[in-house]
Amino acid sequence: MARGRCEQCAAVAALATARWYPDSHGLVLRCSLCEGVLLRLVDHDDRSGVDLRGLSFLEFTPQERRESEIDAV
Ligand SMILES: [Zn+2]
């Protein structure tokens, strides 16, 4: 399961424990401890972007990486 460290409170947790909030342009993922913004998924026309400024690191297993590559195809 992908884990990350919150830039604001330094908590390390699985992203599955974070809280997802839809907004007008996409999704916002917030830390379950401090409510700081971990990442934003932004949709614009036919493209999507990811803002990762709220994470000081993001890690995942090789299996998760392979699965994401398969999903991207
Ligand atoms: Zn936090």
Q: What is the mean pLDDT of residues 28-49?
A: 93
Q: What is the pLDDT of residue 11?
A: 96
Q: How far away, in angstroms, is 15 Cα from ligand 1 center?
A: 12
Q: In what order do the strands lie in the sheet with 3-6?
A: 12-14, 3-6, 55-59
Would you say residue 73 has pLDDT above 60? no
Residue 24 banded pLDDT, cuts 50, 70, 90? confident
Q: How far away, in angstroms, is 55 Cα from ligand 1 center?
A: 9
Q: What is the pLDDT of residue 34?
A: 96
Would you say residue 72 has pLDDT above 70? no
In whole numbers, what is the pLDDT of the chain averaged over residues? 89
Q: Is 60 exposed, middle or buried (0-12, 13-18, 19+ CB in 10 A)?
A: middle
Q: How far away, in angstroms, is 27 Cα from ligand 1 center?
A: 17
Q: How far away, in angstroms, is 13 Cα from ligand 1 center?
A: 9
